[in-house]
Amino acid sequence: MGDAGVVSATDLTATDRSTLRRKKERGSHERAQVEAILDEGLVAHVALTDGRGPVVLPMVYARLGDRLYLHGALANHLLRTATGGAPVCVEVTLIDGLVLARSAFHHSVNYRSVVLFGDAQLVDDLDEKRVAMVALVDHLVAGRSGGTRLPTDAELRTTAVVRVPIGEGSAKVRTGGPIDDDEDLGLDVWAGVIPVATTFGRPEPDEGRPVELGVPDHVAVRVTPA
């Protein structure tokens, strides 16, 4: 397992490809900001290059310290295309607002995003896989794994889990209102921001099953307050 679970104190590496170029958004290599965005997101968009070109697929994920664990169809894809490590790019984006300017040109989106570069490694060790699977469940709903039947060795053997180091990459954040040209500020056009949020609704129990249970606390607290 190495240092999984230990939070790295160092910020992310700014290489040529992860150095930020654009001005209007705020970029950062601060690990705390990268981790906060990764911990809030639900799905990562993972790109790799196969024999014919780029492929990007959604995957569920979890962060454990300075490692990202990925689970989903792309893990099988990686199994087919990679022996050992495969270079991947992982992106997580949270949408915070629609930015409506007076000019069409200056419309934008408020967001927080992370882009990571690294070598994806298939996890072979059953203990590391088990810890990763628990983290994947708890990433969806904090504390969820404690109430569930944990994975058996047989289940873990049939599951592909991929590990990517959180080392090279950056966060980007856009906040605030539209930035119109001065000569447009007097136009008769409403401008501002429509806030966007991801909300979690009332839990829907799995019907028609033998056991009837109340909604546990760890599920109830995931619901967005009205």
Binding to a copy of itself (CB under 8 A) within 10-29 occurs at: 17, 21-22
Q: For residue 31, give the H/E element and its range.
A: helix 31-40
Phi, psi of 64 (to 5 degrees): -130, 105
Q: Which of residues 101-130 bind a copy of itself (CB under 8 A)?
A: 101-105, 107, 109, 111, 113, 115, 117
Torsion sign across C-alpha atoms 68, 70, 75, 79: positive
Compute the distance between CA of residue 115 and CA of residue 172 in angstroms, rounded to an integer: 8
Instruction: Out of 1, 32, 142, 215, point to the residue binding a copy of itself (CB under 8 A).
Output: 215
Is residue 54 involved in binding a copy of itself (CB under 8 A)? yes
Tokens 């447009």 -> residue: 184
Structure tokens at 44: 């990562």
Stretch that binds a copy of itself, among 4-12, 30-38, 62-70, 201-209 (CB under 8 A): 201-209
Compute the distance between CA of residue 43 and CA of residue 116 in angstroms, rounded to an integer: 14
Is residue 213 involved in binding a copy of itself (CB under 8 A)? yes
Count of residues near a copy of itself by CB under 8 A: 94
CB of 99 to a copy of itself, least distance (A): 8
Is residue 2 involved in binding a copy of itself (CB under 8 A)? no
Structure tokens at 30: 């601060």
Stretch that binds a copy of itself, among 3-11, 28-36, 62-70, 146-154 (CB under 8 A): 146-154
